[in-house]
Amino acid sequence: MKTFLKIVGGVVLVVLALVLGGVSYLSMRKPAQRPASAEKIESTPARLARGSYLVNHVSDCLGCHSDHIDGFAFPVKPGAEGQGGFVFDKKLGFPGVVAAQNITSDPETGLGKWTDGEILRAIREGVDRNGDALFPMMPYTHLRNLGDEDAKSIVVYLRTLKPVRNQVVAKRIDFPVNLFVKFAPQPLDGPVSAPDPHDSLKYGKYLTTIAGCYECHTPHDDKNGLIADKPFSGGWEMRGPWGRVLTANLTPHPDNYLGRATKAEFIGRFRAFASIDPLHPPVAAKGRNTVMPWLAFAQMTDNDLGAIYDYLKTVKPIANRVNSFPDAR
Ligand code: HEC
Ligand code: HEC
């Protein structure tokens, strides 16, 4: 018996040592990465315009990275563009706290001291200046598809945001998520090219990836992972100061909006929000505010909204009726 216990004890100790060794190895380990490129990105009028379009109206970077006006669809507060904003914390079911950082060019609290290559790498490859993992709430796993020219244009535009001194709350992620997050960043292994904007289906797919449609409109499991075999079928519940809102089903099933809407109706639905003055948004009815970036997307071009429509019409129709506003009266 004694020998038996000794053996069991020995095995337990070995297992414990392996686990502890694994944990301390992981806590020291840096995520997969490559050195940031040393390139200085040239600012041209074309890049500036393209970057502004992508940041403000497609990838909605400022939607997360700014403070908001508390009204319909939470417009970005003027003067607060990029100063840092959204805080994901325990109240939202997040395992710790992480804030969308200050991405203005303030040297102390923003990106002022980052090189162009470091910013480019953070956006698409998910590591910060020190090579530490960014939490994938920052959608780099999708933004890695940004073509090189689009990604550079974004950096050029970010450099023009008015510097705002604003220190966001420090990041703290609970064990063991703080270890798992290190597996999220993946370096790119070569140039990335965006599809031709005239190739409606490919370009539409590209836009649904870099504009977050796929991320928000695909259901998530209880670990916040995408349920990849139900793309665009909706039902992801988002909680926040607005209460609860569930993403809509965007598949072209006859029960859903996309199953019925014509292309002109689809484009028109977005365009209708362009008449809202972001400085004076209407007050949303109780339980009816939304995180769908309607105001940002209202300025997307007809070509881009049309390509998104064309692409969504080709995704697998999935039956799933979603009540987006369960707390509405
Ligand atoms: C859904 C919200 C969201 C969107 C959309 C978003 N970000 Fe982020 N971003 C975050 C969060 C949260 C972090 C912090 C992650 C962390 O610290 O681990 C972050 C981090 C960053 C960082 C690293 C900053 C630092 O100090 O470490 C950069 C750069 C950045 N984002 C740029 C962008 C750009 C450019 C876009 C648009 C193309 C964008 N983000 C879109 C939420 C978002
Ligand atoms: C931050 C999350 C988020 C992102 C990103 C997002 N959506 Fe939404 N979307 C929602 C939510 C939540 C709703 C339901 C509430 C509402 O109608 O405003 C919604 C509703 C919609 C509706 C209305 C559908 C219906 O059944 O009436 C359409 C159309 C839509 N989204 C299209 C898109 C497209 C296209 C994109 C990308 C260009 C996109 N969404 C990106 C969250 C998001």
> Is the per-residue pLDDT at 7 higher than 90?
no
The pLDDT tens digits for 82-125 are: 999 889 898 887 899 999 999 999 999 999 999 999 999 999 99
Considering 17-31, 32-46, 67-81, 89-103, the range whose residues carry the highest mean pLDDT is 32-46
- pLDDT for 98: 96
CA 298–ligand 1 middle distance (angstroms)? 22
Average pLDDT for 167-181: 93
| 101 Cβ closer than 6 Å to some ligand 1 atom | yes
**How far separated are the first and last CA of the chain, in Å rounded?**
68
Q: What is the C-alpha to C-alpha distance for residues 234 and 222, in angstroms, rounded to an integer? A: 15
**Protein residue with its CA nearest to atom 12 in ligand 2:** 247
| 328 Cβ closer than 6 Å to some ligand 2 atom | no
| 273 Cβ closer than 6 Å to some ligand 1 atom | no
Average pLDDT, the chain: 94
Q: What is the C-alpha to C-alpha distance for residues 35 and 30, in angstroms, rounded to an integer? A: 12
Atom of ligand 2 nearest to the CA of 257: 26
CA 293–ligand 2 middle distance (angstroms)? 7
Average pLDDT for 27-53: 95
The pLDDT tens digits for 236-267 are: 999 887 889 999 999 999 999 999 999 999 99
CA 7–ligand 2 middle distance (angstroms)? 59
- pLDDT for 148: 98
